[in-house]
Chains A and B, each alone.
Chain A
């Protein structure tokens, strides 16, 4: 099958959506499909052979933060050319509601379009105002995928209609087979994520830390992720600071090894999560997971059966749960075993087959993807050649 995938965010910036698209493309290519990914990227960035650059993304303030987006005449022309050259059987657009490549592709294409909704943002003012403009583009989508039941609910509330739920994929064996690192073992807690992003929840963990360290004198905390390390430990009493180790940005291999090595992986995120891929990765690597009780997390953890949950933003609850877990070898082993069984449903072999099933469902009885010439002015006036 000829598959075109549209990535809305810069290929050179690491992010969940980008990784998902990279892994999906790899998986589909391994299964013998032809895949082309259209993504914003700097001209200098080395790209994998299947990625086509849609030009540099422009940083613009959008929705409360600075987002790097692609829009305008030039981007639209590139999208059109990519559609024309690719002659795809199906195109798969990610985040079609963000004002970037996804929306442009939706607007410029016709034929079988599949779209994945990753975020579960509350509806923004801009979205309400732009609804009449968005609607004609969004109604071209033949199949919608939401990454979690939570994301699906938001989608249904905001845009109406329905979607099938297909979770994000993880290469479970990559994590399960990673080699643990000796220096990261022995009563360790792991945290992976941006240090300076409060929504990732490191401050909550830092508030809980004194109690955990007091109850379990041997415990260390390992933190992987970029951000200001000094600022992160500023509120921690000085003698405790040496039990917190910063690893900086880590490679995928080291991330897997870290997750293999730690006893408990803590995800204290306070919001803004629609899936929680890191939890799946941690469970794949056989770490017991302790996470805040966000809707998305509770769902990934099977309502608390595959990992422990604590009340969101409650440092005391986090401390109590961590101390209890670290002291209970039996419970840790049980969580590890349950987690490893539970993550199989998130493995690419399952997720990829489901996504392919969606492609096949929408291409049954439909023509292939083409540039939609009806959006052009002369076509609207009925002057287009067929």
Chain B
């Protein structure tokens, strides 16, 4: 009789543990979704501001075309080419705003101050959002590699999380984020 009770207790303990682990995993997945949505929003914001600047006529025609092309490609890119397209937008932004004279010229144009402020904010938030996203990816992967999760298939059909790798170095002229990695280099 007492053996049966012990088996029952053991089963309950295992069930509670599995349920708790599944809850943890569920929470990690929702954190991951939120982080991905935030990253997506920041990337789109950056591309929109870049495109606006490119079509506003405040830049020279060559720079306008380069920037417009990169921003357009970043917004339209399919999922598997997105990292490359967004990196190219970073490079285009760096090329256009390589020296601070260009930033100053934009600032002096009507409405330029505002547009530049938005762009500065956008290029500073993309690396932030990406870091938070990749941190969430790492946490989710660590738990999903756990054998309990693998054996009992607690992750269900959720796709294995992938980090978002891109070049997100902001242009030097657009005020680097103080104290961040970029500033230390």
Contact = CB atoms under 8 A, between A and B. Distances in A.
Interface of A: 110, 112, 136, 139-140, 142-144, 148-149, 160-167, 299, 345-346, 350-351, 354, 357-358, 360-362, 364-366, 374, 380-382
B125 A361 contact: yes
Nearest to A299: B184
A374 B38 contact: no
A380 B20 contact: yes
B34 A142 contact: yes
Interface string B22-56: 01100110010111011001100000000000000
A381 B31 contact: no
Nearest to A351: B178
B37 A364 contact: yes
A148 B181 CA distance: 10
Contact of A142 (B20, B31, B177): B31
Contacts of B23: 374, 380
Q: Is the interface of B mostly helix, strand, loop or mixed?
A: helix
Contacts of A365: 33-34, 37-38, 41
A161 B31 contact: no
Q: Is the interface of A mostly helix, strand, loop or mixed?
A: mixed
A148 B135 CA distance: 18
Contact of B136 (A142, A165, A374): A142
A139 B128 contact: no
Contact of B128 (A350, A351, A358, A366): A358
Contacts of A148: 179
Nearest to B182: A165
Contacts of B38: 361-362, 364-366
A139 B21 CA distance: 12
Nearest to B45: A364
Nearest to A275: B179
Contact of A380 (B16, B124, B138): B16
A224 to B, nearest CB: 27
B47 to A, nearest CB: 16
B177 A364 contact: no
15 contacts: A112-B34, A144-B135, A149-B179, A149-B181, A160-B138, A160-B142, A162-B134, A165-B184, A357-B124, A361-B42, A361-B132, A364-B38, A365-B34, A365-B41, A374-B23
Contacts of B138: 160-162
Contacts of B127: 164
A162 B135 contact: yes
A351 B178 CA distance: 8
B180 interface: yes
A146 to B, nearest CB: 9
Nearest to B40: A365
B116 to A, nearest CB: 15
B143 interface: yes
B19 interface: yes
A370 to B, nearest CB: 12
Contact of B16 (A162, A346, A381): A381
Nearest to B140: A139
A201 to B, nearest CB: 24
Contacts of A345: 178-179, 183
B139 interface: yes
Contacts of A357: 121, 124-125, 128
Nearest to A379: B23
- Nearest first, the 9 closest Cβ-Cβ pairs linking A and B are A365-B37, A345-B178, A366-B34, A167-B179, A364-B38, A161-B135, A139-B139, A143-B132, A374-B23
Contacts of B67: none
A228 to B, nearest CB: 37
